[in-house]
Amino acid sequence: MHTIETLALGFLSIVVVNNFVFTKFLGICPYIGVSGRLDMAFGMGLAVTFVTTLSGSVTFLIDSFVLTPLGLEVTRYVCYILVIAGAVQLVEMYLRKFFPPLYESFGIFLPLITTNCVILGICLFLDQWQIANFLQAVTLSFGAGIGFTLAICIMAGIRENLILADVPPCLQGAPITLITAGLLTLAFMGFAGMIK
């Protein structure tokens, strides 16, 4: 039971309290660039969640059973990037085959998932946090993706409603988007300290 409680707290912590977008400012480019429409933001969030979960889990295994025992820790970055690129290719092939409209709507943003800082960030943080077992690595990797999805969907919902708002001309476009992002970050800072 203790393990389930620990996993649940870790998941909740990485989704809400220590959200990578709001606390570490990782994944800001797609957060701002793809959050214009809710459907597109949700699709991007799901793709990032899949890639984050797969990459974090696989890199944890590679690090634990190959790199560390062989003393090859210096090659972590190269291995992590190769795993992330492979996972993004899986997502791209799947979307192209089964969801062509979503694949077309992503355009250039789909290959850019490879460079999403959230994905590389979770791989590096799993090592830094000295995660003890595979189940924790999967839970935290999945939670990081869900946290990114939560952040990008909240932003997309607000931006869709901003179209109807009476925003002063000097703040329309990027300025109101950045102000909104700052306010969201401040709102999520209210969760700080709830879970350590």
Q: In the Cβ-directed half-sphere of 51, how many Cα atoms lie within 13 Å?
A: 36
CA–CA distance, 26 with 62 (Å, rounded to integer): 23
pLDDT, tens digit, for every residue of 44-59? 888 889 899 999 999 9
> Among 55-59, 125-129, 135-139, 151-155, which stretch is predicted with the lowest mean pLDDT?
125-129
Rounded to an integer, what distance in angstroms lies between the CA atom of residue 77 and that of residue 51? 16
How far is the C-alpha of 174 from the C-alpha of 44, rounded, in Å? Answer: 20
Compute how many other C-beta atoms are within 10 angstroms of the C-beta atom of residue 18. Answer: 22
pTM above 0.75, yes or no: yes
Domain ranges of the chain: 24-189
pLDDT at 99: 83
Residue with tokens 């290719």: 89
**Residue 139 exposed, middle or buried by CB count within 10 Å (0-12, 13-18, 19+):** buried
pLDDT for 37 equals 86
Sign of the dihedral through C-alpha 177, 183, 185, 188: negative
E-strand stretches of the chain: none
pLDDT band at 196 (very low <50, low <70, confident <90, very high): low
Q: Name the residue type at position 167.
A: V
DSSP state of 193: T
DSSP 171: G
Q: Which residue has the higher pLDDT, 104 or 151?
A: 151
Residue 18 is given by DSSP the state T
pLDDT of 174 > 70? The answer is yes
| DSSP assigned state of 168 | -
Task: Give the separation between CA 186 and CA 74, rounded to whole angstroms.
Answer: 37
Question: Above pLDDT 90, what percent of the chain?
Answer: 39
Res 187 pLDDT > 80: yes
pLDDT digits (tens, 9 = 90+) for 162-172: 888 888 889 88
Q: What's the average model confidence in pLDDT over 134-154?
A: 94
Residue 91, classified by CB atoms within 10 Å of its CB into exposed (0-12), middle (13-18) or buried (19+), is buried
